[in-house]
Amino acid sequence: MFRLFLMIIITFLFSYFASAKNSVNFSGGDMRFYGSVVNAPCSIEAQSLHQSVMMDQVRAADFPSRGSWSEPKTFWIKLDNCNNELFHLASVAFTGSVDTNDPQVFKAGFGADSAKGMGIGIFDSKGELIIPDSAPLSLYPLLDGKSVLYFTAKYRSVSEKVVAGDASAAVNFSVIYQ
């Protein structure tokens, strides 16, 4: 008798939880996967491929004259799965909008609230300024496995007066193997 009662309870519970009217459907979303297949001695780590370099806030008054620099902000490009059988060195070219007042730095600031008189310079691991949109001069050794290429960025005043505002810049890079 107990088995019959237990069987009825189990059947009732099973049918209750399995019924469609007790199911809950949630709306879904979508996913996008980004990536690429490369024919290169290394792949660029995903975080390096599309990174944001968070520059520090600086005061306009900290730039007393044209050509003044801010403190550096370090960033890097990580290369993964490197195979240095054919290529032993890498260099990096940076491209983007160049400041019209100073072609040695990238234009800083977007939109109506952008800073005026400010650019961003990029330096290699030796502290040498990398000229925008030019052939790279610095060579980095490629290590089997992982290689990390270090750089710094600095704000530079490109006019006598700096006006506060957004000082962001969009810069692209290309890794060149030798």
Residue 51 carries which side chain, given as an amino acid letter? Q
pLDDT for the residue 63: 95
Query: For residue 76, what are its two tokens?
Result: 């890097």
Q: Where are the beta strands (DSSP E) in the chain?
A: 43-44, 73-82, 89-96, 106-107, 118-123, 129-130, 140-141, 145-157, 171-177
pLDDT for the residue 162: 95
Query: For residue 62, what are its two tokens?
Result: 């900290």
Does 151 have pLDDT greater than 90?
Answer: yes
d(CA 82, CA 123) in angstroms, rounded, equals 24
pLDDT for the residue 39: 81
pLDDT class of 110 with cuts at 50, 70, 90: confident
Q: What residues does 154 pair with on adjacent strands?
A: 121
pLDDT tens sequence across 27-41: 677 777 777 788 889
pLDDT tens sequence across 86-107: 899 999 999 999 999 999 999 9
Does 61 have pLDDT greater than 70?
Answer: yes
* Percent of the chain residues past pLDDT 70, beyond the cut: 85
